[in-house]
Structure 1
Amino acid sequence: MNRPPTLYEPAGPLGRKRQCVFSVVSALAVCALLLGIGMRLQSSGQFDADKWAIFLHWGTVRFLLDGLVSTIMAAACSALAAFVLALPLALWRLSMRPWVSRLAGAYIEFFRAIPLLLLILFMVIELPALRLDWPALGFLVFAMALHHSALTAEVVRAGILSLPRGQREAALALGMRPSQAMLLVVLPQALRSMLPALISSVLAIVQDTSLGYVIPYDELLHRSQDVSSYAPQSLLQAAFIVTMMYGLVSAVLLYLKRCVLRRQGRALARGVTKRTRTGAATVVEAAQDVCAPAAEVNSRE
């Protein structure tokens, strides 16, 4: 029986016991740390009702929810623009023409190397000098699209390279042009396989929208700063609530990613089972074809 390749040898009985002990000790250490932090916050009065009272008003809740909507809108626009730019970049990066591949590689390496915060500030300072007076959302989306398109292009390129070369060769053998083979055969399969990685890219974009507070764009983090400036005693509470709201969006995306991974795993298992059954049926048919002449000879004798 062939064993699946692994990066390390599976642990034995003693190794599994050690891993269990380390897991229990680590969990107890984390619980003790959280308990110590909670006791420190309790002693400093961070759980007092007057510091949380502002978040019980519907006006404050609606104010933060509007900031969350602005964050999601900026993330959605940035993700769409980044993917639209990343798709041709990945194809150009894989081009057989050296100058096209080098230009796409230079773009990717350049915008990957620039910190996103500096890129946002550069857009805000320089674009108005070129008479491009956009709203804050436009500056944020443009900067994030340039930065994340370079990152997403590498994800798309890795997904294309992960497919077997036989897919493209079979399409070319059927008479397709290289561009048709890429767009109609290779790219759809690559997009399906790299969907979990694309969801992780969207999660990174959602988290990076918090940098819009420097513009300032009226997103969730900026709204929390407005709340804490109105109620300075609730600074830590505002940061905690905003962190939970970001965590909720991240949890939804991670759940979606797990659902996609489970669905791909079930599809792969069904494909393996179908190929196994097909192979077994082929072996049986071949055996019958081999045994049939011998049975006829014996019957004649």
Structure 2
Amino acid sequence: MTNSVLYEAPGPAAKRRALVLSAVVGAVLLALLTWVLITLGANDQLTAEKWGPLIDPTDATFTALWSLLGAGLGNTLLAAALAMAFSLVVGTLLAVSRVTAAPWYRWIVVGLVELLRGVPVVIAVFFASRVLPSLGLDMPVFWYLVIGLTAYNSVIIAEIVRAGILSLPRGQGEAAYAIGLRRSQVLRTVLLPQAFRAMLPALISQLVVVVKDTSLGFIISYADTVRQGQIIIQNLNNPIQTYLIIGVIFILINYALSRVAVFTERRLSQGRKTANAPVAAADAGE
């Protein structure tokens, strides 16, 4: 019997139990799916009238419906892209400020980070849309969503970047200081590039969260995918079908981002192995 690094490989009895358990779970899921379909059919939720506008190109409302959803998806992706960019910039600045701040004013940065981390993102978006206009900052609804998302996600990214900086060996910074680099140069040219490389999968995973949080724009009447879906539901009275399609759209987008994270992590791992190969070969030669 072979052993893996973390656990002993399953034997014949364990494999049989796993096979039986998988079959039981599969049967339960199949029965549940059958029950759901029967229930939906009994309530007239599987009719062509409900699904036709969404999946039938010959339907009279198909083109108009998908044009509406396409416009909403474009607005969603635009808000997500700007929120991602601003969150990365602000988050990096917060991380650097927290790492380099003197003790007498570090509490300000820490307090801001902890405050925004504790606020639900929906409250941040709603707060931005209500408080900023009262301060005289009248902007399109789009920017209130971006500001709310940036306020919440930037502090999460700040903690990710800070963890990446602190995970690096102290010798990295000490060697940079020894050759005469200033603190700003050490951060910009030595520590931050390595921190981003080490934490890139976690950063991309947080960007997936940004895309999902963009759907909260409907609470401030931003014409995102969910808001456009509500308009469709009001006209066609098919909430199950419309929300299911919107859910599939978000799943596909987030799955693509997740695959990017996996691909990036593998590429970085291969890069480290390639970089370490000459060193290992040299050591072996000695």
Q: TM-score, normalised by structure 2?
A: 0.90
2:152 paired with 1:153: no
How many Å separate the matches in 1 of 2:52 and 2:30?
28
Per the alignment, residue 59 of structure 2 pairs with none
Task: Check if 1:235 corresponds to 2:239.
Answer: yes
Q: Tell me the equivalent position of 1:105.
A: 110
Which has more radius of gyration? 1
Checking the alignment, whether the CA contact within 8 Å between 1:92 and 1:104 is kept in structure 2 is yes
Alignment of 1:182-261 (within 5 A): 182-232=187-237, 234-261=238-265
C-alpha separation in 1, matches of 2:280 and 2:143: 53
Deviation, 1:95, is 2.0
Distance 1:15 1:104, change over 3 A: farther
C-alpha distance in 1, partners of 2:71/2:96? Answer: 38
TM-score normalised to the size of structure 1?
0.86
| Displacement of 1:9 | 3.6
Which residue is 2:143 aligned to?
138
Partner residue, 1:64: 69
Query: Alpha carbons of 1:270 and 1:48: their partners in 2 closer, same or farther (altered >3 Å)?
Result: same
Whether 1:273 and 2:277 are equivalent positions in the alignment is: yes
Contact 1:92–1:100 under 8 Å retained in 2:
no
Q: Distance in 2 between matches of 1:212 and 1:269?
A: 43
Q: Report the Cα distance in structure 1 between the residues aligned to 2:117 and 2:173, rounded to whole angstroms.
A: 29
* CA displacement at 1:185 relative to structure 2: 0.8
Aligned to 2:133: 128
1-structure distance, mates of 2:36, 2:215 = 25
Q: Equivalent residue for 1:30?
A: 29
Conserved in 2, the CA contact under 8 Å of 1:82 and 1:148?
yes
**In structure 2, how many angstroms separate the alpha carbons of the residues matched to 1:73 and 1:264?**
28
Aligned length: 277
**Runs of 5+ in structure 2 lacking a partner?**
57-61
Specify the alignment match of 1:177 in structure 2: 182
1:17 shift after superposition: 5.2
1:255 Cα deviation from its structure 2 partner: 1.5
State the Cα distance separating 1:98 from its structure 2 match.
1.0
Deviations 1:150-198 (A, max 9, x none): 1110111111122222211221222212221111111111111211111
Query: How far does residue 274 in structure 1 lie from its aligned partner after superposition?
Result: 2.7
Percent of aligned pairs with the same amino acid: 32
